[in-house]
Amino acid sequence: MRPNRRQFGATAVRLASVTAAAATVCALWAGTASAATASVTRHSTTTTISISPKSVDSASYVTFSARVRSSGGARARGTVTFKWRNESLCTGRLAYGATHCRVLVAGIGRFAIRGYYSGNATHKPSVSGRSYFSIHRAPTATKITNAPDGTVVSGGAFTFHVSVSSPPGVLAPFGTAVVSPTSPTGLPFSKYGCDANIVRGKGSCTIHPPAYGIITYKATFQGNPVWKGSTYAGPYDLAVQNATKTTIAATSTTAGAVTLTTTVYAMGADITGGTGTVTFYIGTSAGAVEPVTGCAAELLTAFDTTTGDNTVTCTGNADLDGLPAGNYYISAVYSGDPVNEGSNSNPPTEITVG
C-alpha cells in the first residue's frame, strides 16, 4: 500500500468515531441463591466491515463501517479499529453493535482493510475479513486567473495568478504550476516564464520580461502522486510594452508660421508603424492647455536610427499660424498602443510667439 509515495495511515487525517457506548452486560449467573457468587462468561463475536465509497479520488474521505454480532443475547460494546496491515487508520466506539469513522486518504492503488474488535469483559475480540477499496489520482483543472489579458512595461514586474481546482469533496491541490510562453516561439523561459507554488489550489509567480510585444501564455499544473496534472491553454495574452518618453518643442515660433514637433522615445524602437498617436496642446497658461485643432491623433512619421527618436510635426496649421504675438504653453500626449505605453510631455513648456 506504499507505492507511488501514497500518504495513507500515519499521515492520514482522522476525524472521529461517531458512535457512543450503549450496551447491557451479558452475564450468566451460576450456583444457587444461597451461594451468592456470580461468574461471567465471555461470548464469542463476529465482526464485519464495509467501506464507502469503494473507489475514491486521492485527497478525499473514505468511511469505514463495522458491525459486531454476539453469540449471546446482549450487544457487544467496546471499539473497532480499522487497519491496513499493522497500521491503524481510525477507531470507532460501538453503539448498538455498530460504529463507523472517516479517514482522509491519499495515494494510488487497491487496499485491503480489516476491522479489529477490542472485546471487553463480556465479549471476546474478533477480526473481520478483508474489505477492499481503490484510490486513484484526483483530476484537476488549471487556470490563469488574472483579468483577461495583461499589460506590463518592458523590464517591469508582472505577476501571474494561478488556480488549480479539484472535484467536489477532494482537497484543493498542492504542487507546482509552470507558467510559460507559447507564442512567439523560442522565448527563453528564464526571462518570460515562472513557476507558481500551489498551496490549497492557489499560487502566483512574477516575471520581468524584456520588450517583445504580445505574448501568449499557458499554465501547466505538473501533478504529483495525489493529483493529476492539467493545462490551461487560454489563450492568455500579455502585452510587454516599451516604456516611452514624450517631449515637445517649438521648432518655429515666428508669428504666422508656428511649428510644433513632438518626439517619442520608445527604448530605441521604431514605433512609426504602430497605432499610437500624438495630440498637440497649447494655451495661455500651464493649467489651461487645449488640443490644437487639426493636430490631434497624429501618427508618428519619422524615426532617427541614431537617437532612437520617433517624431511627428504639426505645421501649416491655421490655429497655430493665427496666434498673435505673446507667451504660450505647449504640451503633447502620446496615446500608446498594445506594445508601447502612453506618455506625455508634462509639465507644459513655455514658448514666445513673436
- With a cut of 50, say whether residue 24 has pLDDT above it: no
Q: What is the pLDDT of residue 107?
A: 79
Task: Kindly state whether residues 33 and 109 are assigned to the same domain.
Answer: yes
Task: Kindly state whether residues 167 and 195 are assigned to the same domain.
Answer: yes
Residue 18: which pLDDT band, with cuts at 50, 70 and 90? Answer: very low
% of the chain exceeding 70 in pLDDT: 89
Q: What is the pLDDT of residue 16?
A: 31
Q: What is the pLDDT of residue 101?
A: 97
Residue 6: which pLDDT band, with cuts at 50, 70 and 90? Answer: very low
Total domain count, the chain: 3
262 touches 247 (CB < 8 A):
yes
**What value does the mean pLDDT take over residues 57-86?**
95
pTM: 0.75
Task: Kindly state whether residues 98 and 149 are assigned to the same domain.
Answer: no
**What value does the mean pLDDT take over residues 250-259?**
96
Q: Which amino acid is at 171?
A: L
Range of the domain at 280: 245-353
Three-state DSSP class for 319? Answer: helix
Residue 74: which pLDDT band, with cuts at 50, 70 and 90? Answer: confident
Q: What is the pLDDT of residue 123?
A: 96
* Least confident span in 12-16, 62-66, 124-128, 255-259: 12-16
Task: Kindly state whether residues 108 and 169 are assigned to the same domain.
Answer: no
C-alpha cell at 170: 477532494
What number of CA atoms fall less than 13 Å from residue 3's CA on the CB side? 7
Closest CA to 132 of 54, 46, 56: 54
**Residue 71 belongs to a domain with what CATH number?**
2.60.40.10
Q: What is the pLDDT of residue 2?
A: 37
Q: What is the pLDDT of residue 12?
A: 37
pLDDT in tens, 170-212: 999 999 999 999 999 999 999 999 999 999 999 999 999 998 8
Give the Cα separation of 259 and 250 in Å (integer): 6
Task: Kindly state whether residues 108 and 148 are assigned to the same domain.
Answer: no
Last residue of a domain, one of 199, 214, 241: 241
- With a cut of 70, say whether residue 5 has pLDDT above it: no
Average pLDDT, the chain: 89
Q: What is the pLDDT of residue 147?
A: 85
**What value does the mean pLDDT take over residues 68-84?**
94
Give the Cα separation of 252 and 256 in Å (integer): 10
Last residue of a domain, one of 97, 112, 136: 136
Task: Kindly state whether residues 23 and 123 are assigned to the same domain.
Answer: yes
Q: What is the pLDDT of residue 39?
A: 59
C-alpha cell at 147: 483579468
Give the Cα separation of 184 and 297 in Å (integer): 30
CA 59 to chain CA centroid, Å, is: 18
% of the chain exceeding 90 in pLDDT: 85
**Residue 303 belongs to a domain with what CATH number?**
2.20.130
